[in-house]
Chains A and B, each alone.
Chain A
Amino acid sequence: MADVSESVQDERVKQEGFATRLMKRPELGALAGVVAVTIFFLFTASDTMFTLSGVMNFMTPAAQLGILAIGAAMLMIGGEFDLSIGSMVAFSGLIFGAFVVTFGMPLVIAIPATFAIAAALGALNGTIVLRTGLPSFIVTLAFLFILRGASLVGLKIATGGSTQLRGVRDAVEGDFLTPIFSGDALTGLFAWLAKQGLIDRFSSGMPKVPGIPVEILWFVAFALVATYVLLRTPQGNWIFASGGDENAASNSGVPVRRVKISLFVLTACCATLVAIITVIDAGSTDARRGFMKEFEAIIAAVIGGCLLTGGYGSAIGAFFGAIIFGMVTIGLTYTTIDQDWFQVFLGAMLLAAVLFNNFIRKRVTGER
């Protein structure tokens, strides 16, 4: 068509600069945050923080939080909250622990069974929210307490009075699925790199960092898949639409209920993945597992550009938000700064992110 070139150059619309276009990406704030935090620690922390082992040190907690944060971000984009994620980690940890220790199930049965129970609870959360039309905030707040309490009671039943269930590591030792959920990956590559002298090694020739902790790989893979789903699939479009305006979405033929319930199931499954990884890693589970994680996950999602009102945000943003979290928690130990500043920092970061997001949203929507 001869018309096509005409559409490209219209004298009435200004070409947008690269900076303006960048401003419209929801994850910009989080990326800027990562840069700022990195610069801060480059000046204040000891050099070991940014060695390979230092990076693995802060990426491991970042990954554990990040898996939750990406789930929370997708749910927030879909217009709902889940305050029960943290308690869900404890509850799934209990279920998983009981399956492998008390019932002696192999992982190939225990893991799908744990996911199934978590998914059912997520679906229950979602169904109550959608059926009653109550805010998800209050419904999932109820589940925050229900699941936390149930974990405590369940642990006592499973262990005969203790609040900690031990022996997970022995139970999963040698299971063919264990390496997927715990330990380090790519050990061969790291050994080779050490041999070549490309990474730090001990005098024995073994690398100082034996491999990448598996949770980091899960975290990166999940961030990529979530981003792909959000930006490149019809389902992603439905998530944005459901969060943006439920009525408009369902009038246009988007299956809003199905989308939202799936997202509640997703966050519950994220919590379960984190539970399985951390329980195998620690070798035990207790009732305080995942404590306060729901708030940290939501904070990471908000730092990542999610609006509390839904319909806007990104998984990659939550990814960076979680990395900021990990860097600050672990990074402060590399400095002379009192670690108790952590929470102050966290609150300030959240406030800055919300103000920034608000500003960006006005730019994006051209609100006048």
Chain B
Amino acid sequence: MAGDTTFHHGDPKVGAEPIVQMRDIEKHFGNIIALAGVSFDVVAGECHCLLGDNGAGKSTFIKTMSGVHKPTKGEIFLNGKPMAFSSPRDAMEAGIATVFQDLAMIPLMSVTRNFFMGREPTKGKWLTKRMDIDKANTATMDAMREMGIRLRSPDQAVGTLSGGERQTVAIARAVYFGAKVLILDEPTSALGVRQTSNVLATIDRVRKQGVGVVFITHNVRHALAVGDRFTVLNRGRTLGTAKRGDITGNELQDMMAGGQEMAALEGSLGGTV
């Protein structure tokens, strides 16, 4: 493999303990092997990009990390302790939040109502127990401002926001509710250029707040723009982890496509991908 000289296998940040560490994870569905040995970790305050082509096993991997699937083999450590999530709720309570592509947002509802959906702050007791609208509005405005988005008002409907802004609301929501690890499932895949840069800037902000970000994408340029470390997933395996500056975009692209096939295509495509 050409990447062997430049890839630093599982090289952790100096002095930083990973929040979540996954070792040799395998996941089989019947006779299909979706994950065949994946090692991955994320430390606080970094953006670890997981790159992979369609069908590489990214979705299965996310679902394993967020507690939807149980791994067939392998171990997951949370803050150094072995951990077995039995449901997404377990993972969420442990501080692992996932922002899926559908974002779990309702366009007709206001930003505040979406932000606190299912976790509404209340005040008062029993019959007078009601939603603390003021607190919810203030918290939403503050959280959104921290992410660099100025809302017209907290009761603006989510439908009026752009795709990038919606993504940011979803990220801000996860961070507000105490995410230590934030898994972003292809957050830039459906966005235009400007909105993509907004989301990348948001990822940067979240990272600076000390959250470990797992950025899943198949776009090498987006990954290079914001990532600290890069792991490539191909045919259910990780091919190693590289630090920023140790690898070029072309090398990552090659790894994602499985090396040889891409090299053969390179000539005819002339570097257009």
Contacts and interface: CB of A to CB of B under 8 A. Distances in A.
Contacts of B117: 237, 241, 248-249, 252-254
A7 B113 contact: no
B150 A365 contact: no
A253 B130 CA distance: 18
Interface stretch (B16-24, B33-41, B76-84, B102-110): B102-110
Nearest to B100: A251
Contacts of B100: 251
A307 B108 CA distance: 11
A366 B157 contact: yes
Given A7-B150, A237-B131, A245 B106 contact: yes
Contacts of B105: 245, 248
Nearest to B161: A366
B160 A252 contact: no
Given A10-B150, A12-B150, A234-B122, A251 B104 contact: yes
A222 to B, nearest CB: 16
B139 to A, nearest CB: 13
Contacts of A367: 159
A366 B130 CA distance: 29
Contacts of B245: none
Which of B100, B122, B145 has the most chain A CB atoms inside 10 A of its CB?
Answer: B145
A245 B120 CA distance: 17
A338 interface: no
A19 interface: no
Contacts of A14: 152
Contacts of A249: 106, 117-118
B194 interface: no
Specify which of A12, A233, A307 lies most central, judged by the most chain B CB atoms within 10 Å of its CB: A233
A232 B130 contact: yes
B113 A240 contact: yes
A311 B152 CA distance: 22
A364 B108 contact: yes
A241 B106 contact: yes
A233 B108 contact: no
B153 to A, nearest CB: 8
B104 A13 contact: no
Interface string B143-154: 001000011110
A240 to B, nearest CB: 6
B129 interface: yes
B159 A364 contact: yes
Contacts of A253: 89, 117-119
Interface in B118-174: 118-120, 122, 129-131, 133, 141, 145, 150-153, 157, 159-160
A12 B148 CA distance: 13
B133 to A, nearest CB: 7
Nearest to A362: B159
B118 A233 contact: no
A3 interface: yes
Given A244-B106, A247-B102, A248-B106, A233 B113 contact: no
Contact of B109 (A13, A228, A244, A307): A244
A27 B143 CA distance: 31
A236 interface: yes
Given A7-B141, A233-B131, A234-B131, A240 B159 contact: no
A169 interface: no
Given A238-B118, A244-B106, A366 B141 contact: no
Main secondary structure of the interface of B (DSSP, over half): loop
A143 interface: no
B108 A244 contact: yes
A311 B106 contact: yes
Contact of B157 (A228, A254, A307, A364): A364
B199 to A, nearest CB: 19
A325 interface: no
B7 interface: no
Contact of A237 (B89, B120, B145): B120
Contact of A240 (B102, B106, B153): B106
B118 A365 contact: no
A16 B159 contact: no
Interface in A211-231: 228
A325 B59 CA distance: 53
B100 to A, nearest CB: 8
B163 to A, nearest CB: 12
Interface in A294-328: 307, 311-312
B116 interface: yes
Contacts of B109: 240-241, 244, 311
A361 interface: yes
B99 to A, nearest CB: 11
A252 B104 contact: yes
A172 to B, nearest CB: 30
B162 to A, nearest CB: 9
B39 to A, nearest CB: 28
23 contacts: A16-B153, A232-B133, A233-B129, A234-B120, A237-B120, A237-B131, A240-B108, A241-B113, A241-B117, A244-B107, A245-B106, A248-B103, A248-B104, A248-B117, A249-B117, A252-B119, A253-B118, A311-B106, A365-B107, A365-B108, A365-B159, A366-B159, A366-B160
Given A247-B102, A361-B108, A364-B159, 5 more contacts: A237-B117, A248-B102, A253-B119, A311-B109, A364-B160
Interface of A: 3, 7, 10, 12-14, 16, 228, 232-234, 236-238, 240-241, 244-245, 247-249, 251-254, 307, 311-312, 361, 364-367
